[in-house]
Amino acid sequence: MSHSPAAPESSAATGSAATAEEDPAAGAEPPHVRSLPRRLLSRPELGSLVGAVAVFVFFAVAADTFLKASSLSTVLYASSTIGIVAVAVALLMIGGEFDLSAGVLVTTSALVSSMFSYQMTANVWVGIGMSLLVTLAVGVFNGWMLTRTGLPSFIITLGTFLMLTGLNLGLTKLISGTVSTKSIGDMEGFPEAEKVFASSFQIGGFNLRVTVLWWLGLVAVATWVLLRTRAGNWIFAAGGNSEAARAVGVPVRATKIGLYAGVAFCAWVLGQHLLFSYDVVQSGEGVGNELIYIAAAVIGGCLLTGGYGSAAGAAIGALIFGIASKGIVYAQWDPDWFKFFLGAMLLLAALLNAWIRKRAEATR
């Protein structure tokens, strides 16, 4: 709001009818231009941006090798593997729900792709397509169960999480005889799939992994959807007040199912990346990552109860994770400290976000 300080009472919305027609000055001033600091302050990702800069500067000082191009590309790569899923998890959280199954779903996706290709065909693309179907089906199942039963998403996805963890190990052992899949590196289509999901480009001394492009692309799409499409409006409304949203005709159920499908899609992208960069998949992987995605979204300013947040914020949250996990290595500390560091980051960010939001709303 850009009105003069001479009219402080107008900061509370002047909804009184009396002033409507008699106040020509109201029309003269630009009605919906807000000052830059105010707009910045009301952005959900502000807190995480401050945090990311602080963590970056900290490790730039603490570790000599941190600012090298090769180190930075490693940091970006680590961030992207968290960020790809965290973006979708952030959207889901804005829509008011959780997904505890996202971590193991990544592994499920890679396993399905690998094993289907190996057992059924000679072409990896068939497995990739099959994996997309299965992964999306799990996402839709989560959303469908949630909207049909009305149970908390924590319970529903905890159930899927445990079931998938068991299925991943059980089925892999049953089919392959071991806990990891067979190599599919010599199969048809592998080089092309590797290019799409796990290649890298050399730009100067900087090694750009393709996952970083996936990550940025997904953040851009998610931001577009959230701020400029009807679906975005519905996501905010479904998380902010689902009853009100339903009452004005928003398809809340479909929106939530769509959000779970979005998480599944991102889990599929990351799953294919893991498969085509390592060639084999360990069936026990992925457990615990779901909490990292959620933490990245929360650090990025998403409100745990829904209705508030941004995709860019989740990306910055993922970046903080990437910087911290690799920064500790470059600083040659014991990596055991990483988790402690992250926990502290999470708490600080959550407090900072709450404080900023309070200030932004109070001074409005």
Which residue, 51 or 307, is less far from other proteins as judged by CB?
A: 307
CB of 17 vs other proteins, minimal distance in Å: 4
* H or E element in which residue 202 lies: strand 200-203
Which residue, 4 or 202, is less far from other proteins as judged by CB?
A: 4
* Longest distance between any two alpha carbons in the chain, whole Å: 82
Return d(Cα 139, Cα 126) in angstroms, integer.
Answer: 20
Which residue, 204 or 230, is less far from other proteins as judged by CB?
A: 230
Return d(Cα 144, Cα 71) in angstroms, integer.
Answer: 43
- 168-227 positions binding other proteins, by CB under 8 A: 224
CB of 252 vs other proteins, minimal distance in Å: 10
Which residue, 118 or 236, is less far from other proteins as judged by CB?
A: 236
Query: Per rule CB under 8 A, is residue 241 in the interface with other proteins?
Result: yes
CB of 310 vs other proteins, minimal distance in Å: 13
Task: Spell out a b/e string for 121-142, using b for 16 or more CB atoms within 10 Å of the CB, else e.
Answer: eeebbbbbebbbebbbebbebb
H helices of 121-251, where? 124-149, 153-176, 190-198, 210-228, 230-240, 242-247
Query: Per rule CB under 8 A, is residue 244 in the interface with other proteins?
Result: yes
Query: Per rule CB under 8 A, is residue 36 in the interface with other proteins?
Result: no
Query: Per rule CB under 8 A, is residue 120 in the interface with other proteins?
Result: no
Q: Among residues 50, 126, 246, 331, which is the contact residue for other proteins, using CB under 8 A?
A: 246
Q: Among residues 4, 8, 13, 186, which is the contact residue for other proteins, using CB under 8 A?
A: 13
The structure tokens listed for 178 are: 């071991």
274: helix, strand or coil: helix
Query: Per rule CB under 8 A, is residue 250 in the interface with other proteins?
Result: yes
Query: Per rule CB under 8 A, is residue 34 in the interface with other proteins?
Result: yes
CB of 37 vs other proteins, minimal distance in Å: 15
3-state DSSP: the chain helix, strand, coil percent, rounded to 5? 75, 5, 25
Report DSSP state, residue 123. Answer: B
The structure tokens listed for 272 are: 């294919």
Q: Among residues 47, 307, 313, 327, which is the contact residue for other proteins, using CB under 8 A?
A: 307
Query: Per rule CB under 8 A, is residue 230 in the interface with other proteins?
Result: yes
Query: Per rule CB under 8 A, is residue 249 in the interface with other proteins?
Result: yes
342: helix, strand or coil: helix
Q: How many residues contact other proteins, by CB under 8 A? A: 41
Q: What Å distances lie between residue 244 and 234, 240, 251, CA to CA? A: 11, 9, 11
Q: Among residues 6, 28, 174, 248, which is the contact residue for other proteins, using CB under 8 A?
A: 248
Burial bucket for residue 240 (CB in 10 Å: 0-12, 13-18, 19+): middle
Query: Per rule CB under 8 A, is residue 236 in the interface with other proteins?
Result: yes
Q: Are 33 and 2 in contact (CB under 8 A)?
A: yes
Query: Per rule CB under 8 A, is residue 245 in the interface with other proteins?
Result: yes
Return d(Cα 165, Cα 156) in angstroms, integer.
Answer: 14
Query: Per rule CB under 8 A, is residue 308 in the interface with other proteins?
Result: yes
Which residue, 6 or 13, is less far from other proteins as judged by CB?
A: 13
Which residue, 1 or 130, is less far from other proteins as judged by CB?
A: 1
Query: Per rule CB under 8 A, is residue 361 in the interface with other proteins?
Result: yes
The gap from C-alpha 23 to its chain's centroid, in whole angstroms, comes to: 46
Q: Among residues 31, 166, 335, 343, which is the contact residue for other proteins, using CB under 8 A?
A: 31
Of 207, 214, 206, 277, whose CA–CA distance to 80 is shortest? 214
The structure tokens listed for 216 are: 């940025």
Query: Per rule CB under 8 A, is residue 247 in the interface with other proteins?
Result: yes
Query: Per rule CB under 8 A, is residue 159 in the interface with other proteins?
Result: no
Binding site for other proteins (CB under 8 A): 1, 3, 10, 12-17, 19-21, 23, 26, 29, 31-32, 34, 224, 228-230, 232-233, 236-237, 240-241, 243-250, 303, 307-308, 361, 364
